Structure 1
Amino acid sequence: MSVIRVGTRGSALALAQTTAVANRIAAAAGVDIEIVPITTHGDVSRESLSSLGGTGVFASALRESLLNDECDVVVHSFKDLPTDVYPGLTIGATPKRADARDVLVARDGLTLATLPEGAKVGTGSPRRAAQLREQRPDLDVVDIRGNVDTRLALVTDEKLHAVVLAAAGLSRLGLLENLATEFLELSDWPTAPGQGALAIEVRDVKPDRLLAKALAVLNHATTQATVTAERHVLARLEAGCAAPIGATAVLDDGLLFLTATVYSPDGTRRITASHAATPESHSAADLLDAAHDVADRAARELLAGGAAEFAPLTVTS
Structure 2
Amino acid sequence: MSAPPEDSGPPAPGPERALRLGTRASALALAQSGMMAEALTAATGRPVELVHVTTYGDTSRESLSVIGGTGVFVNALRDALYAGEIDFAVHSLKDLPTAAPEGLHLAAVSERAAVNDALVARDGLKLADLPAGARVGTGAARRMALLKMIRPDLEVVPIRGNVDTRVNFVRSGRLDAVLVAFAGLQRLGRDDEATEVLDPEIMLPSPGQGALAVECRDADLVGLLAVLDHGPTRAAVVAERTMLAVLEAGCSAPVGGHAIALDDNVLSLTGVVATVTGSRGLRLSATGTVPDAEGLGRRVAEGLLAEGAAEIMEAGQ
Deviation at 1:255, TM superposition (A): 1.1
Deviation at 1:260, TM superposition (A): 0.4
Matches within 5 A, 1:1-317: 1=14, 2=16, 3-176=18-191, 178-203=192-217, 205-208=218-221, 212-213=223-224, 215-253=225-263, 254-279=265-290, 286=291, 290-312=292-314
User: Partners in 2 of 1:79 and 1:243 — Cα distance?
Assistant: 12
User: Partners in 2 of 1:183 and 1:216 — Cα distance?
Assistant: 31
Contact 2:97 2:251 in 1 (8 A): no
The DSSP-based 3-state class of the residue aligned with 2:39 is helix
Deviation at 1:187, TM superposition (A): 1.3
Deviation at 1:304, TM superposition (A): 0.3
Contact 2:134 2:155 in 1 (8 A): yes
| Alignment-mate amino acid for residue 93 of structure 2 | F
Aligned residues: 299
| Alignment-mate amino acid for residue 167 of structure 2 | L
Deviation at 1:88, TM superposition (A): 1.2
The DSSP-based 3-state class of the residue aligned with 1:207 is helix
TM-score (norm 1): 0.92
User: Partners in 2 of 1:212 and 1:235 — Cα distance?
Assistant: 27
User: Partners in 2 of 1:126 and 1:224 — Cα distance?
Assistant: 25
- Identity rate, percent: 51
Deviation at 1:5, TM superposition (A): 0.6
Contact 2:122 2:170 in 1 (8 A): yes
The DSSP-based 3-state class of the residue aligned with 2:114 is coil
- Superposed structure 1 runs of 4+ greater than 6 Å apart: none
| Alignment-mate amino acid for residue 149 of structure 2 | E
Partner of 2:8: none
User: Partners in 2 of 1:22 and 1:273 — Cα distance?
Assistant: 38
Contact 1:94 1:198 in 2 (8 A): yes
| RMSD (Å), alpha carbons | 1.2
Partner of 1:283: none
User: Partners in 2 of 1:272 and 1:135 — Cα distance?
Assistant: 14
Deviation at 1:197, TM superposition (A): 0.2
Deviation at 1:278, TM superposition (A): 2.6
The DSSP-based 3-state class of the residue aligned with 2:152 is coil
Contact 1:242 1:312 in 2 (8 A): no
Contact 1:50 1:241 in 2 (8 A): no
| Alignment-mate amino acid for residue 295 of structure 2 | D
Moved more, 13-22 or 215-224: 215-224
Gaps of 5+ in 1: 280-285
The DSSP-based 3-state class of the residue aligned with 1:104 is strand
User: Partners in 2 of 1:241 and 1:207 — Cα distance?
Assistant: 30
Deviation at 1:29, TM superposition (A): 2.1
The DSSP-based 3-state class of the residue aligned with 2:219 is coil
| Alignment-mate amino acid for residue 135 of structure 2 | K
User: Partners in 2 of 1:26 and 1:192 — Cα distance?
Assistant: 30
User: Partners in 1 of 2:272 and 2:157 — Cα distance?
Assistant: 22
Deviation at 1:47, TM superposition (A): 0.2
For residues 239-296 of structure 1, what are the alpha-carbon distances to aligned partners after superposition, in whole Å with 9 as ceiling and x for unaligned? 11342111010111231110101111110111111111134xxxxxx3xxx1111111
Gaps of 5+ in 2: 1-13
| Alignment-mate amino acid for residue 64 of structure 1 | D
Deviation at 1:140, TM superposition (A): 0.9
Deviation at 1:55, TM superposition (A): 1.5
User: Partners in 2 of 1:75 and 1:271 — Cα distance?
Assistant: 32
